[in-house]
Amino acid sequence: MMELPYAPPLTRRTLADPVIPEPPRRGDPGGEPCGVCPGEDGPHTIWSDDNWILNHGVETSLAGAVWLATRVHVDSFADLDSALAQDFGVLSGRIDRALLALPDVARTHVYRWGDGGAHFHVWYLPRPLGMVQAQKMMLPLWEEVLPRASDEAISDAKRRIADCLTNEGPVRAREQPWDGAS
Ligand SMILES: [Zn+2]
């Protein structure tokens, strides 16, 4: 059964008044600089191609916690053109397979909030096998409080994920636009 990583007594907060206009996010006009632009590979990049970058999380308790970002600065799913949207589906399947192939992973969780930065990015978290307390929305909370994964575990996960994605070949393998017939 899923559980918060905190024990009672917890008290329910009062919902605050709406903050309108909302404060700018990183990468929004008037906000701090975008944390992803200029959309280049960095020290935590596991895999990339002409359009996408896959990075491993920093200071995470979950080896294999990765985030996928576009190279181009677009905000949300609503802003992806058809080619990027198709890529996203293909890549999500590949990342899911790569995470499920890690040792002792039960499920791949996919999170897209868009509340922190204005540059399109989606998180994929491996939910450890048997960690039923961390089901559903509890996993990011547990990720915050559990000890940081070891460098060895993170390095191993990065290598395994990179190998999986590389072995699956180019994301856009089709020469012709996909017509859904095959
Ligand atoms: Zn950006």
Residue 27 lies in a domain: no
Distance 68 CA to ligand 1 centre (A): 13
Residue 60 lies in a domain: yes
Each residue of 140-159: pLDDT tens digit?
Answer: 999 999 999 999 999 999 99
Nearest Cα neighbor of 45 from 153, 161, 181, 170 is 161
Residue 68 lies in a domain: yes
Residue 115 lies in a domain: yes
Dihedrals phi, psi of 145, to nearest 5 degrees? -100, -20
Query: Residue type for 180, please?
Result: G
Question: In the chain, pLDDT over 70 holds for what percent of residues?
Answer: 95
Distance 48 CA to ligand 1 centre (A): 16
Distance 26 CA to ligand 1 centre (A): 8
Residue 122 lies in a domain: yes
The pLDDT of residue 177: 61
Distance 27 CA to ligand 1 centre (A): 6
Report the distance separating Cα 52 and Cα 84, nearest Å: 9
Distance 37 CA to ligand 1 centre (A): 4
Distance 70 CA to ligand 1 centre (A): 9
Residue 82 lies in a domain: yes
Q: Which domain holds residue 156?
A: 48-167
Each residue of 115-149: pLDDT tens digit?
Answer: 999 999 999 999 999 999 999 999 999 999 999 99
CATH number at residue 137: 3.30.428.10
Work out the angle between the directed axes of helices 151-167 and 82-100 (0-180°, nearest 10): 130
Residue 143 lies in a domain: yes
Per-residue pLDDT for 182 more than 60? no
Distance 74 CA to ligand 1 centre (A): 7
Distance 20 CA to ligand 1 centre (A): 23
Confidence label for 178 from pLDDT (cuts 50, 70 and 90):
low
Q: What is the mean pLDDT of the chain?
A: 95
Distance 57 CA to ligand 1 centre (A): 18
The pLDDT of residue 1: 82
Report the distance separating Cα 179 and Cα 182, nearest Å: 8
Name the E strands within 63-139. 66-70, 105-111, 121-128
Structurally, how many domains does the chain consist of? 1
Residue 90 lies in a domain: yes
Lowest mean pLDDT, pick from 5-9, 110-114, 174-178? 174-178
